[in-house]
Amino acid sequence: MPELPEVEIVKQSLDKKIKYKKIKNVLIRNRNLRFKIPLKFEKQIVQKTIKKISRFSKYLIIHLIDNSSFIIHLGMTGTIHILEKNKKNFNTNLSFYSARQLPKKHNHIEIKFDKINMIYNDPRRFGFIKFFLNKKNLINYFKDLGPEPFSNSFNINYVVNYLKGKDKNIKNFLLDQKFVSGIGNIYASEILFLCKIKPLKKAKNLSIYDYKKIIYFSRYVLKQSIKKGGSTIRDFKNIHGDTGKFQKEFRVYQRENLNCLKKGCKGIIKKKNITNRSTFFCNSCQK
């Protein structure tokens, strides 16, 4: 599943390809995604120019010139392909779980620009697309989500107030989008390893210093991953066909039974299912 860093890479790639371009035509081959694409969607975006592309958490936001917008969520298997006229279809893919060529099936949506087609493909159909008439509607859509780790609102006062007295374990909080938006399963394990905090530790038993480390390393891990082009698990590539490199930096994720990478630590990396999600941690240096 693409997480925040991978969606950020897709955003940066789209920004290079479709910003300031006018939507000439919209073709919907299959409306069945997580939410059915309304019949009026094509009319709502056609003939409009892309003003900018932004991202909140794992949502791509395509801003249009008249202050309307639409969001794309890639779900589990959503990918975006760019086909350029006069170019072969190599490395069309912009997102997680890619193929080198445009797949033959599951190309749900095609948005046509001059000389460029952008295609949304989603075999498992957990992704979705949604239109917003104005900025107020867009902001309102995200109102129940917590701040991103990068946001100034994700600060020590916020974290202390949110977590104090809470019985739930800290790993579950990092995945709780109401608390903080955009930390997924892979990165939650990596963050807690750097914090030296055991994933099953109850939030209420953490110290102020622990809370500070969580803020610091949440930002650090996501930034590092974006810098490395995201994590490539099953072929994630950016617009140039380059794979992400962050999976080579994993310190605990998918390192079950291997030695801990922390200097001087003799611990072994363990894997445990927490609320049905694989969680990796060192049995020695994470307390």
Closer CB to Zn ion, 112 or 262, in the complex:
262
Active site residue 5: no
CA distance 191 to 209: 15
Binding residues for Zn ion restricted to 218-277, rule: CB under 5 A: 260, 262, 265, 267
Closer CB to Zn ion, 65 or 258, in the complex:
258
CA distance 198 to 189: 9
Catalytic residue (choose from 3, 8, 148, 190): 3
Instruction: List the one residue out of 189, 158, 163 whose CA is nearest residue 256.
Output: 189
Binding residues for Zn ion restricted to 10-69, rule: CB under 5 A: none
Active site residue 171: no
CB 211 within 8 A of CB 163: yes
Active site residue 125: no
Closer CB to Zn ion, 81 or 198, in the complex:
198
Q: How far is the CB of 201 from Zn ion (least distance, A)?
A: 15
- Strands, E assignment, the chain: 25-28, 50-56, 59-64, 69-73, 79-84, 107-112, 116-121, 128-132, 269-274, 277-282
Catalytic residue (choose from 11, 58, 171, 270): 58
Closer CB to Zn ion, 196 or 202, in the complex:
196
Catalytic residue (choose from 2, 5, 149, 199): 2
Binding residues for Zn ion restricted to 137-196, rule: CB under 5 A: none
CA distance 38 to 76: 21
Q: How far is the CB of 265 from Zn ion (least distance, A)?
A: 3
Active site residue 148: no
Four-residue CA torsion sign, 120, 126, 131, 134: negative
| Interface residue list for Zn ion (CB under 5 A) | 260, 262, 265, 267, 282, 284-285
Q: Which residues are the active-site residues?
A: 2-3, 58, 277
